[in-house]
Amino acid sequence: MGKVLIIGAGGVSSVVVHKCAQHPDVFEEIVLASRTKSKCDSIAAQIDRPIETAQVDADNVPELVELIKKVQPDLVLNVALPYQDLHIMDACLETGVNYLDTANYEPEDTAKFEYKWQWDYQDRFKDAGIMALLGSGFDPGVTSVFCTYIQKHHLDEVHTIDIIDVNAGDHGYPFATNFNPEINIREVTARGRYWEKGEWKETDPLSVKHAFEVPENIGTPNIYLMYHEELESLAKHIPHLKRARFWMSFGDSYLKHLEVLGNVGMTRIDEVEFNGQKIIPLQFLKALLPDPATLGPRTVGKTWIGCQVTGLKDGKEKTVTIYNTCDHQECYKEVQSQAISYTTGVPAMIGANLMISKVWSGEGVFNMEQMDPDPFMDLLNTCGLPWKVIDGPVIDLG
């Protein structure tokens, strides 16, 4: 049916390539390009279908344009880093090709999470008659679709959304991150922020927490209020919404290390002079930490990511919770990756699948909750991320 050009060859990309290869009816041809071609080649070597590979610097728009013209894909699937989003969108505009990503654009020198830069492409994508789908990972991505699914099938009005992301997995290291360390630490050390009654409220980083007894005996971690990008688009697109918050679990060892690293300046993202060279401490730290793509064989335990949503049904107040659980070792057996890369890579493949097969289509820039949730929810069930719905809450978050 179509051809996909995947950009980036890290942990998430590896899952995307495996999962696209499992659907040859939709992804007839797969091309994988990244900054380091050898990483594309080692992913391609794990797949028993031919995958073409290429080298590209995704910060260089003319280079991207040349590659896209040569490959002639139906869709560019961006799983490089958020810094590359706008360059890849520019190249898609120039070549008239649809675009999909899993994380919103961030400028490299400020940890600022806003859709503004990408929403500004709306008119240009519309005029070019092409579609950009933003945030087709798990959170954002599946969490956004969970909310619209509840809105469509379980409630007449959605009033509050609490997104809860628990990773109860253990990789055995005192400190490691489950996806790109630089992006992860920028996100976690940012100020907390949630949306209430039409305005943003701020908290000190990781200062609000609750103990959570996760369903299905997955664990009893603390979950911490933090900002996450889907809050911005949900606040814009879900009518009647009164409050939206995001919570993530962190272990004590992770937080202790993060505090010390922050105190000594290792999480700084500004340049410092070192031995006559300019370095960014967080980038140096990334070079020292375990590569998330290598955590697969040693990570055990499960993830639990869900949305607890309240609202009105037939005039009465009602709470509905919807969630997925994913087992790190099961993911490793299937695609040689841990569950964090898996839970991001599978929805990226599903979004691409729906765009290439034109089940999801449009002209302009779209967030996940603007699309019909049903075909996406069906594919989650058949592609490795089945979900469950509970009538009622799983936690009292006040």
Cβ neighbours of residue 104 under 8 Å, at least 6 residues apart? Answer: 82, 85, 113, 114, 115, 117, 118, 134, 135, 140, 229
Binding of ligand NDP by 79 (CB under 6 A): yes
> For residue 137, what is the DSSP state?
B
Q: Does the footprint of ligand NDP cover residue 81 (CB under 6 A)?
A: yes
Interface residue with ligand NDP among 169, 192, 219, 292 (CB under 6 A) is 292
To the nearest whole angstrom, how small is the minimum distance from the Cβ of residue 190 to ligand NDP?
14
Query: In which region does residue 165 sit, left (phi positive, over 0), alpha (psi from -120 to 50) or beta (all else)?
Result: beta
In angstroms, the CA 339 to CA 335 distance is 10
Contact flag: residue 56 with ligand NDP (CB under 6 A):
yes
Determine contact, residues 168/221, Cβ cutoff 8 Å.
yes
Q: Are 144 and 234 in contact (CB under 8 A)?
A: yes
**Counting contacts by CB under 6 A, is residue 80 touching ligand NDP?**
yes
When CB distances to ligand NDP are compared, the closest residue is 10
Shorter beta-carbon distance to ligand NDP: residue 311 or 384: 384
Asked if residue 10 binds ligand NDP (CB under 6 A), the reply is yes
Distance between CA atoms of 353 and 25, rounded to whole angstroms?
10
Q: Which of 18, 39, 318, 328 binds ligand NDP (CB under 6 A)?
A: 39
Using an 8 Å Cβ cutoff, are 141 and 255 in contact?
Answer: no
Binding residues with ligand NDP: total (CB under 6 A): 33
What DSSP element (H or E) covers 334? Answer: helix 328-335
**Rounded-to-integer distance, Cα 200 and Cα 196, Å:** 6
Q: Binding residue for ligand NDP (CB under 6 A) from 183, 223, 258, 356?
A: 183
| Residues across the chain | 398
Per CB under 6 A, which of residues 314..373 are in contact with ligand NDP? 344
List the one residue from 13, 151, 267, 338 that touches ligand NDP (CB under 6 A).
13
Identify the residue whose tokens are 């779209």: 366
Site mask for ligand NDP (CB under 6 A), range 98-137, x = bound: ----xx-------------------------------x-x
For ligand NDP, the closer of residues 36 and 220 by Cβ is 36
Q: Which of 30, 75, 93, 141 binds ligand NDP (CB under 6 A)?
A: 141
- Scanning 8-16, 202-210, 213-221, 362-370 for contacts with ligand NDP by CB under 6 A, the matching segment is 8-16
Helices (H), 140-228: 142-153, 181-188
One residue of 4, 6, 12, 238 binding ligand NDP per CB under 6 A: 12
Residue 11 found at the interface with ligand NDP (CB under 6 A)? yes
The residues, any chain, with a CB within 8 Å of residue 185's CB and separated by 6 or more, are 177, 258, 261, 267, 282, 285
What residue ranges bind ligand NDP (CB under 6 A)?
Answer: 8-13, 34-36, 39, 56-59, 79-82, 84, 102-103, 135, 137-141, 179-180, 183, 292-293, 344
